[in-house]
Structure 1
């Protein structure tokens, strides 16, 4: 994932901002929530990106991936519509506790820019719901030039989205974050419709680590910089997620990317191991003992 990539990550201040007051308000009713539901995964499962992750001889990458992780940020659905049969095949290849978090197709977000998309959305949902119990939160990522002047388009989309289907939205244009009034209006809209406000932790866009949750779901897209700071950044996230769980956070969905995706499973293993300890959970730590694995945990 190249979004937010910088040439010198060692010059970036990766300090996480303080928890937004709206997050505290949103989580307050759930303060005694207890152990959270935690899903951690990568964005892709193919060998081309995750070099060194798969043992030699693995024929079905998804089957192996799903035995190591409990979720996937399904980016493949961004690039084209898949028929119901494909979602059924993906479902059949994964264990009972696995979840897919599908990205809405670019036809909806980028080409039509949320206008006149009801038919496309309906078809997409009719196919994707064949994942059944393995369906996680849908994810809408808007183009970086989709600015606040398009607020009404997001509002109309939020109103028309089925309330029983979980949704997360990521906006990228800087004006959504730089103007306090706009940010308040936008996050209040998401809160009203119980839509998760995506957090993106990437080196070149620190404004997108806004720490403002709008539902009882932390949907976090973490982008490492292929730098040693990637690990201390994950340590900071573990501290923050523990804090939010204490405040009442029930659902943690954390997806790990890299500028060079080859190291994503390694970072995930590091993160899961520490998260298990801090939150008293028992997620499987992805296998790092493959004979072709050249990386070791720090």
Structure 2
């Protein structure tokens, strides 16, 4: 009997970057207004960064939705006006407007990324209160919440327990600059890989991409990856998970190549 696995999507942060033009990723002569549509045919997911600074109008989300194919997903960073405040108990109610608008993406909407900076003092109890108040669905869509916590002091076994209790993902940062633990906590995995190298066409060495493809397969089957750093006890058995692997920052001009190369490795081992 074949093992049921979730969908693995590889992608990048944003889609507007001058160095991706002229043949680096976008074909020479491609109009800027056509870049999103092109990127969405080559990648499985794009993280919307602009929402961290300002939520967009629903009409803008609708335009983005209509430029992308079925099966493609946008993830989106929650506005910093929600994640930089100290009182997380009030955040859920204030998030309604953002969530209402971004669900205009309809079936193109993937995870909402709640990024908390290195100096944010919240710990497991505060995050528990935040997650308790967040909606699990909106406008008929099930919402996926991913918690990115950059304060090392906040990373405790209790934080992992809180995330598992609320069925949200803890973001794996894939970076030496931020805490990077791979405890599975929700029905999907969200990894932001942040170590692309400028001297490599695919951003990462081939062996590293092959290893990430195998890890993605394990996660998609509901398994764990014990070779990665963990903080808490082993995750309980889980059904298939969707997996999002996004190449962010570092040598940014190499990130599309990294995402496409990883996608190719994933396809090669699933044939």
TM-score, normalized by length of structure 1?
Answer: 0.74
Structure 2: give runs of 5+ residues left out of the alignment.
138-142, 224-238
Q: 2:262 aligns with which of 259, 271, 274?
A: 271
Per the alignment, residue 211 of structure 2 pairs with: 236
In the alignment, the residues of structure 1 paired with residue 87 and residue 41 of structure 2 have an alpha-carbon distance, to the nearest angstrom, of: 36
Shift in alpha-carbon separation, 1:33–1:103, aligned structure 2, 3 A: farther
* 3-state SS, counterpart of residue 137 of structure 1: strand
Q: 2:162 aligns with which of 189, 196, 206?
A: 189
Shift in alpha-carbon separation, 1:49–1:175, aligned structure 2, 3 A: farther
2:48 matches 1:74: yes
| RMSD after superposition | 2.2
Residue 237 of structure 1 and its aligned partner are, at CA, apart by: 1.7
User: How many correspondences in the alignment?
Assistant: 242
Residue 112 of structure 1 and its aligned partner are, at CA, apart by: 5.7
Kept in 2, the 8 Å contact 1:169–1:197? The answer is: yes
Map 1:22-171; keep pairs closer than 5 Å.
Answer: 34-51=4-21, 52-59=24-31, 60=33, 61-111=35-85, 114=88, 116-148=90-122, 150-164=123-137, 165-171=143-149
Give deviations 1:101-156, integer Å, cap 9, x for gaps: 111001001246635334530000110011111111111010111235x4333122
Residue 87 of structure 1 and its aligned partner are, at CA, apart by: 0.8
Structure 1: give runs of 5+ residues left out of the alignment.
1-31, 178-182, 281-298
Q: 1:220 aligns with which of 191, 195, 200?
A: 191
* 3-state SS, counterpart of residue 204 of structure 2: helix
Which deviates more from structure 2 when the two are superposed, residues 134-143 or residues 109-118? 109-118
Shift in alpha-carbon separation, 1:117–1:97, aligned structure 2, 3 A: same
Per the alignment, residue 211 of structure 1 pairs with: 182
Kept in 2, the 8 Å contact 1:97–1:134? The answer is: yes
Higher normalized contact order (CA 8 Å, seq sep 6+, divided by chain length): 1
